[in-house]
Chains A and B, each alone.
Chain A
Amino acid sequence: MRGRLSASGAVLVYGAGALILLFIMAPLLVVVSLSFSAAPFAVFPPRGFTLEWFGRVIADEEFQHAFIVSVSLAVAATAASFALGMPAAYALNRWKVPGAQVMEAILLSPQIFPILITGLALLQFMARAGLRDAEMNLFIGHVLITLPYLVRTITASLKLVDRSLEEAALTLGASPWRVFWLVTVPQIIPGIAAGCLFSFMISFDDFPISLWLADAQTVPLPIFLHSSMSRIFDPSIAAMSTLMILTGVLAVIGLEKLVGLRRAMGI
């Protein structure tokens, strides 16, 4: 059922697409353009062109620290979520686990609860339990919110794997362990990559969990950005935002280079 778009239909589709794109991109373009503004205050439209704000931000030790905190937090949380989520998704899909549906629902539940409330609950729990290591607390919190993304994407790709491929490998003499590594994993790598990208971005961008669990020494980038903004609103905020956007774009490009974005997103 693939027809060709009529000329007027094409105008409509591309026109609507352009409008939606503008709606999504316009605020980001404002921020990015401001980060190059020569004016001392963040006002739109930007005046002049300078890279001074980027220089200042990158030279700022507090920013450097927050950036490193956020990137390492996102990498660690993603790695841990993958280590937990991959076997969980596999077991729930391939083995007869009593109460599998309930367990899957529990694994995905952090996505359903308001993250702000989850963060508050975590804070209270950790205070009660005497856990005062902010790095560790942030790590635990971020694993909690990134795990559902990995479980979900890996589950979705496992469901798409043709089971007869695994069965064929078994009949050819591959042990279940080798079937997993030689046949199953190559089929779900795009899903794993997409899940890791989501997870990284969710953690890197997270505000509501970090808001509760950060302390004075361990400040992730979104928290740092927010507190800087309440002090002063100059184009350096825009420059930080642009750097955050850039990190996301680089992650997407990296994924594209690694496995191909279209494959990773299942399109």
Chain B
Amino acid sequence: MAAQPVDLALSGLTKHYGRNVAVDSVTLRIAAGEMVALLGPSGCGKTTTLRMVAGLVEPSAGDILIGGTPVTRVPVHKRNIGMLFQNYALFPHLSIAQNVAFGLQMRGVGRAETAKRVADALALVQLGAFADRLPAALSGGQQQRVALARALVIEPTLLLLDEPLGALDKNLRESMQVELRQLQRRLGITAVLVTHDQEEAMTLADRIVIMRGGRLEQVGTPEEIYSQPANRFVAGFIGAANFLRGTVAGQQPDGTMLKLAGGGQLLVPRQEGGAPVLVAVRPEAIDLSPPDAPAPPNGTPAVVEQVVYRGQMTHVYMRLDDGEPLLAYVANRAGGAQGASGAQPGDRVLASWLPAGNKIVADQ
């Protein structure tokens, strides 16, 4: 149902609103057949970027190339793009089949062929039985699948998804994510997803683009973004992270030893110069042991403030002696509380983790 996959290139794409810069010189290449998620907090420019690709917003500067062809000045209705909206945007006065047929009618496709392609598209999203209903008679998940059929039936060069599952409840959202991902893979269509939901981005996308303030913060696979965050913002935005600031205490054969103000020490890859180093540590990397255990080579003493049982994990909120917070996720393997080592609020503990858990990040 999709045409030959094509790549998408953004070059210096910029959008000003008066003096506000919504998107600031974004350059990005998305390979043919790839699904990329633009992820960031609201106001980061992800939606504006997507709308510029669609042609719904005119860029202030920069270029958009689809399959190597500049489309920056091509009006939206001639770009041949399939787009999903958060509120589905089905035409309420048209039946499901008429909704799906809309794009084909705009292209002057004949009656018989339209009927066949509409039936195929509805079969693809398993809604063939609903062809004659009005959108209002369908559930949210069904409506978004109709919108998907409507977007795909025109054989678009690109599929743009603007928070497509944001209005669905959690379980439905997760099953739709899987469905959407399989469909996109099977059709091999190049897709751009806008979301503020990191799990959605990680589930759906080949690569994630983290945006902030109209700029790209980091581009990479979900694993790269999670395990090698470029800076404090990315580390904090994707998953939870503890941030520890250490000063260089000495060089060792296998790296540099950092001293924490709260009394702990961290072994990190070799650092030149004496500037303070910001280290991000994921909560799930941290193990807890009693305070009388031998001092760990990589860790810190802490005081437990709160213990929250969350099923798979127990979240242990701690504070270091200098007042900095520390959060550990302790796995509950046997379903009991043994994983959290029975820590109670007020207990002193030793928090330790493997040096590989230390991620040095830029402080921005």
Residues of chain A having any CB pair with chain B under 8 Å: 162, 164-165, 167-176, 178-179, 182-183, 186-187
> Do A173 and B77 form a contact, CB below 8 Å, given A167-B56, A167-B85, A168-B85?
yes
Q: Are B85 and A172 in contact (CB under 8 A)?
A: no
When the two chains form their complex, are residues B83 and A168 in contact, meaning their CB atoms are under 8 A apart? yes
Closest to B54 in A: A171
> Does A169 contact B82, Cβ atoms closer than 8 Å?
no
Nearest CB of B to A180, in Å: 12
In the complex, which of the residues B79, B80, B89, B107 contacts A168, with contact meaning CB atoms closer than 8 Å? B89
- State whether B154 touches A173 (Cβ < 8 A): yes
Q: Mark B72-87, 1 if CB is under 8 A from A, else 0.
A: 0000111111110111
| A182→B80 CA distance, assembly (Å) | 19
CA distance A162 to B90 in the complex (A): 10
Contact of B80 among A173, A174, A176 (CB under 8 A): A173
Instruction: State whether B102 touches A174 (Cβ < 8 A).
Output: yes
B106–A171 touching, CB < 8 Å: no
**Nearest B residue to A183 by beta-carbon distance?**
B91
Contacting residue for A172 out of B92, B93, B150, CB 8 A: B150
A contact face: mostly helix, strand, loop, or mixed: helix
A144–B332 Cα distance when bound, in Å, is: 76
- Contact residue among A167, A173, A186 (Cβ-Cβ distance under 8 Å from B107): A173
The count of A-to-B residue pairs whose CB atoms sit within 8 angstroms is 66
A-B contact pairs, 24 of them (CB 8 A): A162-B87, A165-B89, A165-B92, A167-B54, A167-B56, A167-B76, A168-B83, A171-B54, A171-B55, A171-B76, A171-B79, A171-B82, A171-B83, A172-B77, A172-B102, A172-B103, A172-B150, A172-B154, A173-B77, A173-B106, A174-B102, A176-B77, A183-B91, A187-B93
Give 10 new A-B contacts, CB below 8 A, not counting A174-B77, A174-B102.
A162-B87, A164-B86, A164-B87, A167-B85, A168-B147, A171-B81, A173-B78, A173-B103, A173-B154, A187-B93
- Which residues of A have CB within 8 Å of B85? 164, 167-168
Given A170-B76, A171-B81, A174-B77, does the pair A165, B91 have CB atoms closer than 8 Å? yes
CB-CB contacts below 8 Å: B62-80 with A = 76-80
Closest 10 CB pairs of A and B: A172-B103, A173-B106, A168-B89, A164-B89, A171-B83, A186-B93, A164-B85, A170-B76, A174-B106, A170-B77
Q: Tell me how far the C-beta of B246 lies from the nearest C-beta in chain A, rounded to whole angstroms.
A: 49
CB pair A169–B93 under 8 Å, yes or no, is no
- For window 152-177 of B, CB contacts with A under 8 Å fall at 154, 160
Residues of chain B within 8 A of A173, CB atoms compared: 77-78, 80, 103, 106-107, 154
Which of A170, A171, A179, A182 has most chain B Cβ within 10 Å? A171
Report Cα–Cα, A122/B56, bound state, in Å. Answer: 45
- Asked whether B106 lies within 8 Å of A172 as measured between CB atoms, the reply is yes
Contact partners of B160 in chain A: CB under 8 A: 171
- Write the B213-225 contact mask toward A (1 if CB under 8 angstroms, else 0): 0000000000000
CA distance A162 to B88 in the complex (A): 11
Query: Are A170 and B91 touching (Cβ within 8 A)?
Result: no
Chain B proximity of A234: nearest CB distance (Å): 51
How far apart are the CA atoms of A172 and B56 in the complex, in Å?
Answer: 12
Chain B residues contacting A175 (CB-CB under 8 Å) are: 77
Which residue of the partner chain A has the closest CB to B162? A164
Q: Which of B131-149 contact A (CB under 8 A)?
A: 147
Residues of B within 8 A of A187 (CB): 92-93
What CA separation (Å) do A153 and B355 show in the bound complex? 68
Known: A172-B154, A173-B77, A175-B77. A167 touches B93 (CB 8 A): no
A186: shortest Cβ distance to chain B, in Å?
Answer: 4
CA distance A240 to B204 in the complex (A): 71
Measured between beta carbons, the chain A residues less than 8 angstroms from B54 are 167, 171
A168 to chain B: closest residue by CB: B89
Residue of A nearest to B78 (CB): A173
Contact check: which of B86, B87, B91, B92 meets A169 at CB < 8 Å?
B91
For residue B154, which residues in chain A have a CB less than 8 angstroms away from its CB?
172-173
Interface hits, B270-294 → A, CB 8 Å: none
- Residues of chain B within 8 A (CB-CB) of A183 are 91
A171 to B80, CA, bound (A): 7
How far apart are the CA atoms of A152 and B150 in the complex, in Å?
34
Q: How far is the CA of A175 from the CA of B107 in the complex (A)?
A: 11
Q: Which residues of B contact A178 (CB under 8 A)?
A: 106
* Measured CA separation A169–B112 after assembly (Å): 22
Contacts of A174 in B (CB 8 A): 77, 102, 106
CB distance from A178 to the nearest CB of B (A): 7
Cβ of B150: which chain A residues have Cβ within 8 Å of it? 168, 172
**Across-interface contacts of A164 in B (CB, < 8 A):** 85-87, 89
Partner of B89, one of A162, A179, A186: A162
In the complex, what distance in Å separates the CA atom of A168 from the CA atom of B79?
Answer: 13
Distance of B96 from chain A, by nearest CB (Å):
14
Note all chain B residues with C-beta closer than 8 A to A171: 54-56, 76-77, 79, 81-83, 151, 160
Report chain B residues within 8 Å CB of A167: 54, 56, 76, 83, 85, 89
Closest CB of chain B to A159's CB: distance in Å?
16
Contacts of B89 in A (CB 8 A): 162, 164-165, 167-168
Cα A182 to Cα B83 in complex, Å, equals 18
A207 CB → nearest B CB, Å: 39
Q: Which residues from chain A contact B147 at a C-beta distance below 8 Å?
A: 168
The distance in angstroms between the C-alpha atoms of A175 and B77, with both chains bound, is: 6
Question: Which residues B101-115 have CB closer than 8 A to chain A?
Answer: 102-103, 106-107
Q: Which of B3-48 contact A (CB under 8 A)?
A: none
